[in-house]
Amino acid sequence: MKILSIDAWREPEGGWNWNQWYTVGNIDKSDFENLKTARATIKWFRESGFISDYSKGRVAIDDDGYNVVVCDKNTHEPVFAIEYGPEY
């Protein structure tokens, strides 16, 4: 499953629009299925080197129905995502 780095812009009415995304890695399907909580998902992103220790308390997880998205906790700007598509 693809790990995506997201470039997005903020919409005037709120929310974010993904302008561009880049494949920056992969996660095995079985590893993805073991990420049962937002905390576990953030921990995986941190331990895999996608986000730093600086992100502690600053990121959250969102699920848009096609991706599990790591976003800035304050602005909700998407930063990284795991693309799972229609499989789940």
24: which residues sit within 8 A by CB, 6+ positions away?
Answer: 3, 4, 5, 50, 80
Q: What is the rounded CA–CA span in Å between residue 56 and residue 62?
A: 16
pLDDT tens across the length of the chain (88 residues): 999 999 999 999 989 999 999 999 999 999 999 999 999 999 999 999 999 999 999 999 999 999 999 999 999 999 999 999 976 5
Show the domain range for 10. Answer: 2-87
pTM (predicted TM-score): 0.90
> What domain count does the chain have?
1
Sign of dihedral through CA atoms 22, 26, 32, 37?
A: negative
